[in-house]
């Protein structure tokens, strides 16, 4: 599993924007920026939709006021689902990134097998990344939602 002080692995994430489908490398997304990245097991799932994403939407201004250039949400879903989920939650100040094949999640070592729920998914986590280097990593234990909450990350900035 990736740890604090390490550089993010090279990977690609997709995003559906008004300009169409975009493919971004981790270098494109994180070079020269301070980013809060949070990951969820699945878009439109209960804790993710009722708490995790909405809290980041609500606190986006406070987070960026702490010197954060961008907030990214990533899930092992496709870009169409991520865009629809972001629209449903008014997440226009966040970037909704898809890791459709879980390659980024697996490269981080933050994948988990959920079998009938959806197969390979991401663990729930948040991280602070400064110019591609992980400066804070907050991974939830199974069935918990404490350390990756927006309030918890805001307190770490």
- Annotated catalytic residue, options 48, 53, 129, 139: 48
Q: Residues 73-85: pLDDT tens digits?
A: 999 999 999 999 9
Concerning whether 73 is annotated as a catalytic residue, the answer is no
DSSP assigned state of 80: H
Structure token digits, residue 130: 């400064």
- The shares of helix, strand and coil residues in the chain, as percent rounded to the nearest 5, are 30, 30, 35
Question: What string of DSSP letters covers 81-115?
Answer: HHHHHHHHTT-TTSEEEE-TTSHHHHHHT-EEE-G
- Partners of 137 in the beta sheet? 127
Distance separating alpha carbons of residues 15 and 81, to the nearest angstrom: 10
pLDDT tens digit string along 17-63?
999 999 999 999 999 999 999 999 999 988 989 999 999 999 999 99
Q: Which domains does the chain have, with CATH numbers?
A: 12-156 (3.40.30.10)
């Amino acid at each position: 599993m990736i740890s604090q002080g390490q550089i993010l692995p090279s990977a690609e994430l997709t995003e559906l924007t008004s300009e169409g489908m975009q493919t971004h490398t981790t270098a494109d997304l994180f070079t020269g920026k301070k980013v809060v990245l949070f990951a969820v097991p699945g878009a439109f799932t209960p804790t993710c939709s009722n708490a995790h994403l909405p809290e980041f939407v609500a606190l986006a201004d406070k987070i960026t006021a702490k010197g954060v250039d961008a907030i990214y949400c990533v899930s092992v879903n496709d870009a169409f689902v991520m865009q629809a989920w972001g629209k449903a939650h008014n997440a226009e100040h966040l970037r909704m990134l898809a890791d459709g094949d879980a390659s980024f999640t697996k490269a981080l070592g933050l994948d988990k097998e959920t079998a009938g729920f959806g197969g390979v998914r991401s663990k729930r986590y948040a991280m602070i990344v400064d110019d591609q280097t992980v400066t804070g990593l907050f991974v939830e234990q199974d069935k918990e939602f404490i350390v990756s909450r927006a309030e918890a990350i805001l307190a770490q900035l």
